[in-house]
Amino acid sequence: MKDNNPPTTPIKTAILSFGMSGKVFHAPFIHHHKGFELTGIVERTKNTAVGFYPNTKIYKSVEEALEDDLVDLIIVNTPTYTHFEFAKMALEKGKHIVVEKAFTTTAEEASILTELASEKGLVLSVYQNRRWDSDFSTAKQIIDDQKIGAIISAEFHFDRYKDALSPKIHKETPNAGAGLLLDLGPHLIDQAIYLFGMPQAVMADIRTVRPNSLVDDDFTLVLYYDQLRVTLKSSLMVREPLPAYILHGTKGSFLKSRADIQEAALIQGAIPYSHNWGEEPDTEMGYLHTQFNGEMVKGTIPTLKGNYGAFYDGLYDTIIHKKPCLVSGKDGWNVMKIIEAAQLSHKEQKLIPIHP
C-alpha cells in the first residue's frame, strides 16, 4: 500500500460510475492509497460495488454524490458527453475533480472548466494514466537520454481488433462524445504533447471501417513541428499490430511494442502498489539501433516498470501539498484543441494551423 505521508484525514473520494473505468482504473488505486478514502460510488440500478467495497457508500444518483458534504474529490468517469455537465456541477459544489478522457467534447468546454477550477481554487486533473505505461515510459527515456539523437519522426499506434460493436450504446450511437478519436485519441495526443509540446499544425484522416459502425473507428493524425513529424494512428480493425512506438532520430531508431500489463492485471483483480507492479515480460523489450557515445548499439533494452499509481500519488501531492498538477486542465484543454483541429482537417481535407 502507498503511504506517501498521508494526512490525518484522507481525501474523501466519490466515483460517479462503476463500469470498467471505475472498477479497474480508479477504485483500486483510491482504495489502496492511504492518502485517499473511497467514500462513495454511484450505481443507479445495481449494487455491484458492495461486493468489492462493502464499507463504501452507494449513491443512486450523481446528484446524491455531489450533495455529500463529506466528499472532497469527485471522479467524473461517466460517458464523455456528460463530462462537462457533471464536472461543472462538482466544481460549483466546491469539489476537486478528476475527469476521465476525453476531458470534454469541445475545447470551449475545456476552457470553461479549467477557468472555473482556477477561480474557485480547486484542483482539476484529467486522467491520462497512459503517461505511466511501461512502453511509453521507456520510449520517453530514450528521447530524454538522447539515445537516438534529435527526433526526426515519431509514430505512435494504439490498435485493436474489435469488429463487433460495443454493447455500450453511448459508444456506438453518434453523439458528441462517441468515436475512436475521442476514446483512444486523447491518450496518443496527450503523449505526443507531453513529449514534444504543442504542434504548429495538424492533418487528419478519420474513417468508419467496421461493419455496421455508425461512429469513427480508425484515424491517422499527423502533427507538424519545425523539423519533426509525429504520426498518431489508431484503428479497431488491426489484427496484427505494428510497434506502438516507432522513433527515428539523427543517430538511430527505437521500436517498442504496446505491452504494458497493468490493465490486464487490474481486470484480473491484482492489487496495485505491489513490489513487482507493472513489470513487462522480457520478451517485449524494445529494440534500439543507434550510435551512442561513439559506439554502434544494436539490440534489445530493458523496459521500465509501468505505474498508474503515480497519477494518484501526484494528485495527492497537488491537493495536500499544493504541488503542480501532473495532468492539468490546461493539458486536457490542449488535447481538445488538437481533436477539434483534426476534425476540421478531415472535414476540409487540409492542414489546420494550431494557434498558441
> What does the pLDDT read at residue 208?
98
Structural domain includes residue 185:
yes
94 and 145, same domain (yes or no): no
| Residue 89 within any structural domain of the chain | yes
pLDDT of 7 > 80? The answer is no
CB-based contacts of 301, cutoff 8 Å, min separation 6: 138, 285, 286, 287, 288
Please give the average per-residue pLDDT across 123-138, as a whole number. Answer: 98
Same domain, 103 and 168: no
331 found inside a domain: no
| Closest to 117 measured CA to CA, from 99, 94, 84, 86 | 94
The answer on pLDDT for 8 being more than 70 is no
172 and 98 inside one domain: no
Look over the chain and give the mean of its residue pLDDT values, rounded to a whole number: 96
Grid cell digits, residue 240: 496484427
Domain of 80, in residue numbers: 11-129+311-323
264 and 151 belong to one structural domain:
yes
328 found inside a domain: no
Span 214-240, pLDDT tens digits: 999 999 999 999 999 999 999 999 999
> Do 191 and 237 have their domain in common?
yes
Contact 27, 40 (CB under 8 A): no
**Strand 229-235 to 286-292 pairing:** unpaired
199 and 92, same structural domain? no
**Does the residue 332 lie in any domain?**
no
CATH number of the domain enclosing 282:
3.30.360.10
CA distance 331 to 110: 10
Nearest-angstrom CA–CA distance, 293 and 350: 42
Question: Within this chain, do residues 193 and 221 fall inside the same structural domain, yes or no?
Answer: yes
Tell me, yes or no, whether 153 and 63 share the same domain.
no
Strands (E), the chain: 11-15, 36-42, 57-59, 73-76, 96-100, 124-127, 151-159, 201-207, 218-224, 229-235, 245-249, 252-256, 286-292, 295-301, 352-353
Query: 169: burial class by Cβ within 10 Å (0-12, 13-18, 19+)?
Result: exposed
Tell me, yes or no, whether 63 lies in a domain: yes
Select from 172, 182, 180 the least CA-distant residue to 83.
Answer: 182
Q: What pLDDT, on the 0 to 100 scale, is given for residue 1?
A: 47
pLDDT in tens, 29-58: 999 999 999 999 999 998 899 999 999 999
The domain that holds 73 is classified in CATH as 3.40.50.720
Looking at the fold, whether 152 and 59 belong to one and the same domain comes out as no
- pLDDT the model gives residue 343: 98
Q: Are residues 82 and 217 in the same domain?
A: no
In 3D space, the residue among 173, 111, 184, 236 whose CA is nearest the CA of residue 342 turns out to be 184
Is 79 part of a structural domain of the chain?
A: yes
Kindly state whether residues 33 and 101 are assigned to the same domain. yes
Phi, then psi, of 287 in degrees rounded to 5: -115, 125
Whether 9 has a pLDDT exceeding 90, the answer reads no
Q: How many domains does the chain have?
A: 2
Q: Whole-angstrom Cα distance, residue 147 to residue 131?
A: 20
Q: Is 185 exposed, middle or buried (0-12, 13-18, 19+ CB in 10 A)?
A: buried
Same domain, 295 and 318: no
Are 217 and 236 a contacting pair, CB within 8 Å?
yes
Cα 31 to Cα 300: distance, rounded to the nearest angstrom? 37
Contact 309, 163 (CB under 8 A): no
In a domain, 288, yes or no: yes
